[in-house]
Amino acid sequence: MDGRIVYFHGQPGGAVELDLVGAGALAARAGVVATDRASDDPAPGFSCRISATAAALAAQSSPVQLIGFSLGAFVAMEVALCLADLAPALPVRLDLISPAGPLSLGDFLPRMAGGLLFRLARDAPAAFAAVTAVQGEVAALAPGWLAGQLFAGASGAEAALTGVPAFRRGAAQMVRDSLARGAKIYRQDILAYVTQDPARLSRLRRPVRIWQGREDTWTPPAMAEALARTLPELRSLNRLDGLSHYSTLRHALPRCLDSEASAG
């Protein structure tokens, strides 16, 4: 993997997220490498994917910036932890946007839009696999409808964003790419996330900034607060009034890519 700035998308998600929030051209100019965890061919295990990504980054001599959105924040932190072992001297910094923090840090599930699915993955993995198989069939036949269901509870800035036709088309593509081809990586990421051990984050001695919308119903603000207390090298927790999940991504990403801000 080439590139000193790497973007990790959410689940369901994909590199299309950058275009969804109008940041695709900006990311391209900044040289962002957007990982694509939607493809299921091939589909190695979660740990193997993390190790491969970290090894590719460790081969570089220049500093690395990891940007993780939603569940991608969890993946970015796992890559950073792996890099700490492979290349401890490599400068790495993280920007976590609307981050999915460890579930065991608080009672977050009742306040999460996808809380029922995460609870199912944690408590009944076989049932979770069955549900995602159904989701995959729906995503193949009616991705636009399924994307509409995901954003049905959007309000405020999020509602305005999801009302844009280009956003709806991109969201349908995102759902189809993540779920309609077997959803193996989607399941792997979620199953790894729900069993995350927050104690491991004490080893994440790299500068981290968090960007969190105060109106987020996907990853609630309390989750970002708990995550911030866990990270030993937290530089800032940026609380954004009136913003939710994707609207926070739209606001934060240009700031993450700003050369002066990123050096902080």
Give pLDDT tens digits along the chain (264 positions): 445 899 999 999 888 898 888 888 888 888 888 887 655 555 678 999 999 999 999 998 789 999 999 999 999 999 999 999 999 999 999 999 999 999 999 999 998 988 999 999 999 999 999 999 999 999 999 999 999 988 887 777 888 888 888 888 889 999 998 898 778 889 999 999 999 999 999 999 999 999 999 999 999 999 999 999 999 999 999 999 999 999 999 999 999 988 544 444
Residue 149 backbone phi and psi in degrees, to 5: -65, -35
pLDDT of residue 262: 44
Largest Cα span, the chain: 48
- Report pLDDT for 183: 86
Q: How far apart are CA 209 and CA 95, in angstroms?
A: 5
pLDDT at position 215 is 93
Residue labelled with tokens 């001695």: 205
Phi, psi angle pair for 210, to nearest 5°: -115, 140
Beta strands in 76-190 (DSSP E): 92-97
In sequence order, what are the residues at sequence separation of 6 or more whose Cβ sits closer than 8 angstroms to the Cβ of residue 78?
50, 192
Instruction: Classify domain 5-262 at the CATH topology level.
Output: Rossmann fold (3.40.50)
How does 166-201 read in b/e, with b if 16+ C-beta sit within 10 Å? ebbbbbbbbbbbbbbbebbbbbbbbebbbebeeeeb
> What pLDDT is recorded for position 39?
52
Structure confidence at residue 1 (pLDDT): 42
Please, is 224 exposed, middle or buried when counting C-beta atoms within 10 Å of its C-beta (0-12, 13-18, 19+)? buried
Enumerate the domain spans of the chain. 5-262
Q: Which two tokens stand for residue 30?
A: 């900044």
